[in-house]
Amino acid sequence: MHPPAWHRADAATTTRRALLRAALLAAMALAAGKAHAQGGREEFSQWVAAFRPRALARGVSAATYDRVMATLTPDTSVYAQFRSQPEFDERLWQYLNRRVSQWRVITGRERAREHAALLGRIERDYGVDRFILLALWGVESSFGELVDNPKYMRPVLPALAALAWGEPRRRRYWEQELINALRIVERGWSTPAEMNGSWAGAMGHTQWMPEVWLNIGVDFDGDGRVNPFGRPDDALASSARYLLERGKYRRGEHWGYEVRLGAGWRGGEGARSYAAWQAAKVMRADAMPYPRPTATARLWVPVPGGPAFLLGPNFYAVRTYNPSMNYTLAIVHLADRIRGGGAFAQAFPGGERALTLEEIKETQRLLTALGFDTKGADGRVGSDTMRAVRAFQQRVGIDPADGYAGLRELARLRRGR
């Protein structure tokens, strides 16, 4: 569960101007953060003292507040993260390829078998499709592998304190989440040392914000505390509860379908029943019938000339997890792929298929051999591989140098230049 709608990720086109702008903003934010931290330590101390009554009024004890906040140093590096979101520099097909990777599909199927009993219990209790939960788990933390990885996760309390103190935009939101994090410590559910997560404060297998941990979290494994870390039971069950209660997820309904617009299609907007869409020559791309003809859906064509989709209520239920259409499409498509489905029938204009697991490993090996170290060849594209790809693109003149590991880059690497 991510920060709210102002963290959108729907921009689709990578351009040199966007990259330069993002880099400039990040540099300015980092410089400002350093100056603020260096010149404002007393100011932060004053802020901590002034903020104390508000935390105590929300149920944080004086002992907990003083113990946590008295020695805390704000993590001002989060300002650069706040102003530079990587999703804004990707075209939609790249965004999807990176997230709906062969590694996630293979690993998701392995986790589906490994946790079949747990996922079955969650489906019975909350009605949420197990493959949606697996997709969330895969995208949010690589099925738990990133939960404790210091390359991607950082102490949450210093990050939230920095945002609450020094980030004027949505300050009230950050203040509330800092208090929520302190309340978690107060309840004894976690410790400041254990609470590691994203720069924005999301934690655990499925990246809960503190407010969600407090109000939606479920002790599904019965160990006496709600915990997004460790075993995935609480994390997956709580995410299912979130989709049900806040997203109004509907048991037994699919999120929607890729469709083809027939020759008789005359356009139109708004929600219609699947039967009405079929009558309007909007058919499923796999030629199968709509299983719930009376259920309603909306048409969405994210990129002209690309695949079209009918989106049902459960697509929008998933969207409450992260208010991005692109993110939500990645989640539901990954869910279908883990289930056994294939790629979209219609390609995106200018797009290309994703590299296979072995092709990504080959790309990583070739990059490293040329001096662009990817820190290993595991078939997964993380920040190290993206930086290596971008450096290679810049050297050979590929424009834009967007860090995307694709067929074009692999072909150049195979030629040794």
What percentage of the chain reaches a pLDDT higher than 90?
Answer: 80
pLDDT of residue 26: 42
Residue with tokens 């509330």, as numbered in its chain: 176
Q: What is the mean pLDDT of residues 46-55?
A: 96
Hey, what long-range contacts does 336-339 have (CB within 8 A, 24 or more apart)?
336/131, 337/100, 337/105, 337/108, 338/104, 338/105, 338/108, 338/109, 338/112, 338/131, 338/134, 338/135, 338/138, 339/131
Q: What is the mean pLDDT of residues 385-390?
A: 94
pLDDT confidence tier of residue 10, bands split at 50, 70 and 90? very low
For residue 386, give both structure tokens: 């993206």
Give the separation between CA 41 and CA 399, rounded to whole angstroms.
43
Name the phi and psi angles at 150, rounded to 5.
Answer: -65, -15
Residue with tokens 């969600």, as numbered in its chain: 212
Q: Is the pLDDT of residue 360 over 70?
A: yes
Give all strands of the β-sheet with 282-284 in edge-to-edge order. 272-273, 296-300, 308-311, 256-261, 282-284
For 209-256, write each residue's pLDDT tens digit: 999 999 999 999 999 999 999 999 999 999 999 999 999 999 999 999
Q: Is the pLDDT of residue 37 over 50?
A: no
| Antiparallel, parallel or unpaired: β 308-311 and 256-261 | antiparallel
Q: Which residues pair with 256 in a beta bridge?
A: 311
Lowest mean pLDDT among 18-32, 347-361, 377-391: 18-32
User: Comparing C-alpha atoms, which of 386, 387, 393, 357 is closest to residue 95?
Assistant: 386
Q: What is the mean pLDDT of residues 354-359?
A: 95
> Max Cα separation, the chain?
70
For 56-108, write each residue's pLDDT tens digit: 999 999 999 999 999 999 999 998 877 655 443 689 999 999 999 999 999 99
pLDDT of residue 3: 54
Q: Is the pLDDT of residue 12 over 60?
A: no
Task: Tell me the average pLDDT of the chain.
Answer: 88
* Measured CA angle at 232 (ends 320, 256), to 5 deg: 35
Q: Is the pLDDT of residue 14 over 80?
A: no
User: Comparing C-alpha atoms, which of 409, 377, 380, 415 is closest to residue 392?
Assistant: 409
Look up the pTM and report it: 0.87
Q: Which residue has the higher pLDDT, 18 or 91?
A: 91
pLDDT of residue 379: 92
pLDDT of residue 285: 97
pLDDT of residue 21: 41
Q: What is the mean pLDDT of residues 356-378?
A: 95
- Cβ within 8 Å of residue 124, ≥6 positions away: none
Q: What is the mean pLDDT of residues 320-345?
A: 97
pLDDT confidence tier of residue 30, bands split at 50, 70 and 90? very low
